[in-house]
Structure 1
Amino acid sequence: MADPITVTTVADGVARIQWQGEPTTDALRQAVAGALTAHTRVEALVGIDDRSAQRAATWAGLLKEGVTRGVTVDGAVTDRVVYARVRDDQPVDQPEGFRSLLNSFLPRKRAISQMLVRDPDGRVLLCQLTYKRDWDLPGGVVEVGESPRLAVQREVEEELGLDLEPGVLVLTDWLPAWSGWDDAVCLVFDGGTHPPSVLARVVMQEREIRDVRFCTLEEVDELAADFTARRVRAAVSGARPYTESGR
């Protein structure tokens, strides 16, 4: 009976492992280990909907790297999940190696940090962005390894030239997947109350910010997307610490 696991050299130092059916975890692990004695990297391309093969790749110690799109397999253009292991990866029977394995496939959530800045009349600071029609609170995406609190301070300084200390977290708003975006969690921090004269200190990042001003809640409803307006109102009211799309 032919071995259902095959290992093929596809580039200098790179092996590709394939299997038929459901080989045992031990057999796959041995094949991966054997391939790494002669290669620096071993990889597997697994079907998007083939959960069984994805589990097999994971428990064989291959880390999920992402999705390669538009590859031709058996004459058909399709997408494949890429799993791989390199020779220097920590063994999966060691704590660090096992954590890296889990980290490669467990869900990750995009985080956005925004700042609620108000004037003495209760108006809210909004930014008109260059890349969309709707106005929004100042802030942006949290970088990998960055704290949300530091992220919003950095974004406000980069976009508006204002050094504002973030205060308490006033709202956590979950945003469902929408128009090509994955879902995300938006954290709104209190930016304090400042006189309208603070606008004179604004230095807009021209690539991202077209205008900035204090707006009444009625103006927020007119200028912002509906879910942003709901988020602003929820943050201002402080009645709920958690919302979903502002609700």
Structure 2
Amino acid sequence: MRPTPADPVTWNAYLAEGNATQARKRVSADVLLRDPSGRVLLVKPTYKPGWDLPGGMAEANEPPHEAATRELKEELGLAVTLHDVLIVDWVAPHGPWDDQIAFIFDGGTLNEEQAADIRPHDEELSEVAFLSPDRAGELLRSRLHDRFQAAIQALTDGRPRYLHDTRPIW
């Protein structure tokens, strides 16, 4: 006999068993930040090659927007209010990685003082740079480059994008 909500202890154990067999998704949460001249912020991680958008991976049970703001605070000492979701991208399994949901949020435009004071605040970053969107796109690895270009389009036309492995679905 299947448990029912009438017996909360048994019901919760039943739900927990089902939950344990559900797929788990990795979640990344990056932020598109600009300076007053419209350049975008890139960061250079120490733990992987190349340049990246600021942000990072969500921790267990952490909402993506909170992961993004936490990462900005930890890595750049920056408290930012996120404005909108620009990108939601389902990333297929690749290499050693399972699938993932990747978000890019609009972090808005920093004022001149904030932009001038941006520096790495922990050992995960070696450099930061504000670059033109074209130059930033050239420095990003292929998968992130395509997601970044879609984020720039979403920012321009005010319409968020849902992607499947960096390719627009809608």
- Structures share fold, TM-score greater than 0.5: yes
Aligned residues: 159
State TM-score, norm by structure 2.
Answer: 0.84
Identify the residue that residue 237 of structure 1 maps to in structure 2: 153
SS in 1 for 2:148: helix
Structure 1: which 5+ runs fail to align? 1-25, 27-90
Q: Of the candidates 143, 148, 161, which is equivalent to residue 64 of structure 2?
A: 148
Equivalent residues in 2 for 1:217-228, closer than 5 Å = 217-228=133-144
Cα drift, residue 122 of structure 1: 2.6
**Quick check: 236-245 or 163-172, which moved more?**
236-245
Equivalent residues in 2 for 1:35-184, closer than 5 Å = 94-184=10-100
**Quick check: 113-122 or 226-235, which moved more?**
113-122
Structure 1 163/129 Cα, relative in aligned 2: closer, same or farther at 3 Å?
Answer: same
Identity %: 34
Structure ranking higher in strand proportion: 1
Q: Is the 8 A contact 1:117 1:125 kept in 2?
A: yes
Structure 1 168/97 Cα, relative in aligned 2: closer, same or farther at 3 Å?
Answer: same
Structure 2: which 5+ runs fail to align? 2-6
Identify the residue that residue 125 of structure 2 maps to in structure 1: 209
Q: Is the 8 A contact 2:35 2:115 kept in 1?
A: no
Identify the residue that residue 4 of structure 2 maps to in structure 1: none
- For residues 105-142 of structure 1, give each alpha carbon's deviation from its aligned partner in whole angstroms, at most 9, with x where no partner exists: 11111111111111233321110111111211111111
Q: Is the 8 A contact 1:165 1:191 kept in 2?
A: yes
Q: Is the 8 A contact 1:140 1:152 kept in 2?
A: yes
Structure 1 242/178 Cα, relative in aligned 2: closer, same or farther at 3 Å?
Answer: same
Q: Which has the higher contact order (CA 8 A, sep 6+)?
A: 2
CA RMSD of aligned residues (A): 2.3
Structure 1 113/153 Cα, relative in aligned 2: closer, same or farther at 3 Å?
Answer: same
Q: Is the 8 A contact 1:199 1:213 kept in 2?
A: no
State TM-score, norm by structure 1.
Answer: 0.59
Structure 1 117/111 Cα, relative in aligned 2: closer, same or farther at 3 Å?
Answer: same
SS in 1 for 2:98: coil
Cα drift, residue 93 of structure 1: 8.2
Identify the residue that residue 246 of structure 1 maps to in structure 2: 166
**Quick check: 170-179 or 91-100, which moved more?**
91-100
CA distance in 2, matches of 1:196, 1:178: 39
- Moved >6 Å (runs of 4+): none
CA distance in 2, matches of 1:199, 1:123: 10
CA distance in 1, matches of 2:14, 2:8: 5
Identify the residue that residue 188 of structure 1 maps to in structure 2: 104
**Quick check: 122-131 or 91-100, which moved more?**
91-100
CA distance in 2, matches of 1:192, 1:159: 18
